[in-house]
Chains A and B, each alone.
Chain A
Amino acid sequence: MLRVTDLSCERGGLPVLTGIGFEVATGQALILRGPNGIGKTTLLRTLAGLQPAVAGAVTFPEDEGAYASHADGIKTALSVTENLTFWADVYGAALPDDILETFDLADLADRLGGTLSAGQKRRLGLARLGVIGRKVLFLDEPTVSLDGFSVKLFAKWLQKTHLAGGGVAVIATHIDLGLDAPDLDLTPFKADADAGGGTDEVFL
């Protein structure tokens, strides 16, 4: 469902990763591994289309990609339900009935986003993924500030609902989510900083 061929990406005009290729079949996930600064976030942003690729191609069904990063996009002056309803409206989707229970947010439904703890905010940010109904997810450190119970909750949703429902996911994480998913270590794809290929090259 997701195919990446010979992809190179850059960050701030410097090449970061080069020659990446992988395929993720329907119902599968891929875990990105590698030390800090290797380019996991850059790769995910490139896959999601937030920044252009230097070379190579990313193919997945049109209008099926979604991106989630460290920043959850939660509005502090809106309640938990209002935050989710907004994203449902943007994606033209209906709010699933059990979404609050799935992410253990039922007791917080009417709380304002600004009064949530870091972990609760994170759960709300992840619940957005359950609302928008996209098949191809690019997740950047989805479990930051989650406790063990919430990590299991999220992993369960990912496995039982998202992947079982025909989705795919590319996840950058340092912890073990307990998913049956292959790892991709990005270290071999590290670009030579002098190799060029950044978009500034034509100006230099």
Chain B
Amino acid sequence: MIALLLRDLRLAVRAGGGFGLGLAFFLIVVVLVPFGVGPDTAVLSRIAPGILWVASLLAALLSLDRIFALDYEDGSLALLATSPMPLEGAAMMKALAHWVTTGLPLTLAAPALGFLLSLAPEAYAYLLLSLLIGTPALSMIGTFGAALTVGLRRGGLLLSLLVLPLYVPTLLFGAEAVRRGADGLDPSGALMLMGGITAGCFALLPFATAAVLRINLR
């Protein structure tokens, strides 16, 4: 299974668009916000947690349709399905590869962008922590959505419609943790609930993803 993870990472690096695109998109969305709402730092620092989290969701969404589409088109998905590697494991590795190429760079870049939005100094640690805990769930949920739409032409829009509502709990608790951190309140409750969501996603969704892939491969 590690072979699949390494292959996907290698492909992301070589084919380009893996690491860079989502990150650049995140950067541009966050930079556009001060242009839209004006340079008032009080307003910016108030909306910064929400903006950073919403921008992360959208950036993660951007590369979801590539998770299975390329493997489906060149036939390797059918070959993987008939290989000794359990499809559940393949689904988890795909989600993990997506996280390493999207979620992790987003998490690392977020504090720098928090500075652009004059995020409260107390909140940086919680921004990093909440993204670190929350973005794996985004990748896993997105992988499930990608499996649902794998055989469809122009499934990208449908994928967004399916996946974005499922991102709501992660967004709620993620932004709430950062906001509480900025206000000097204890954010551990929100962080723990988000950790629960992530753990639940990784426990259940690989099975759902594999089941959906089997149906779509028929």
Contacts and interface: CB of A to CB of B under 8 A. Distances in A.
A202 B162 CA distance: 28
B11 A90 contact: no
B153 to A, nearest CB: 17
A183 B47 CA distance: 71
B36 interface: no
B11 A75 contact: yes
A142 B2 CA distance: 29
A119 B15 CA distance: 23
Contacts of A69: 75, 78
Contacts of B81: 50
B76 interface: yes
B96 to A, nearest CB: 16
Contacts of A82: 10
* Interface size band for A: 20 to 34
A48 B80 CA distance: 12
Most B CB contacts (10 A, CB to CB) among A49, A50, A69, A75 go to A75
B217 A50 contact: yes
A66 interface: yes
A67 B82 contact: yes
Contacts of A75: 7, 11, 74, 76
B154 interface: no
Contact of A91 (B7, B15, B77, B84): B84
Which secondary structure characterizes the binding site on chain B?
helix
Contacts of A70: 75
A43 to B, nearest CB: 14
A186 to B, nearest CB: 20
B218 A50 contact: yes
Contacts of B37: none
A71 B75 contact: yes
B15 A77 contact: yes
Nearest to B11: A77
Nearest to A52: B218
B129 to A, nearest CB: 34
B75 A78 contact: no
Interface in B163-203: none
A96 interface: no
B82 A65 contact: yes
B157 interface: no
A90 B84 contact: yes
B82 A89 contact: no
Contacts of B2: 89
B79 interface: yes
Contacts of A56: none
A86 interface: yes
A60 to B, nearest CB: 13
Interface string B62-88: 000000000101111111111111000
B77 to A, nearest CB: 8
Given A50-B78, A50-B217, A78 B7 contact: yes
A72 interface: yes
Given A52-B218, A71-B74, A87-B79, 15 more contacts: A49-B82, A51-B218, A63-B84, A66-B82, A68-B79, A72-B74, A73-B71, A73-B74, A73-B80, A77-B15, A82-B10, A86-B7, A87-B83, A90-B3, A90-B4
17 contacts: A50-B78, A51-B217, A52-B218, A65-B82, A67-B79, A69-B78, A70-B75, A71-B78, A73-B80, A74-B74, A75-B11, A77-B14, A78-B11, A86-B3, A86-B4, A87-B79, A92-B84
Interface of A: 48-52, 63, 65-78, 82, 86-87, 89-92, 128, 132
Interface of B: 2-4, 7, 10-11, 14-15, 71, 73-85, 217-218
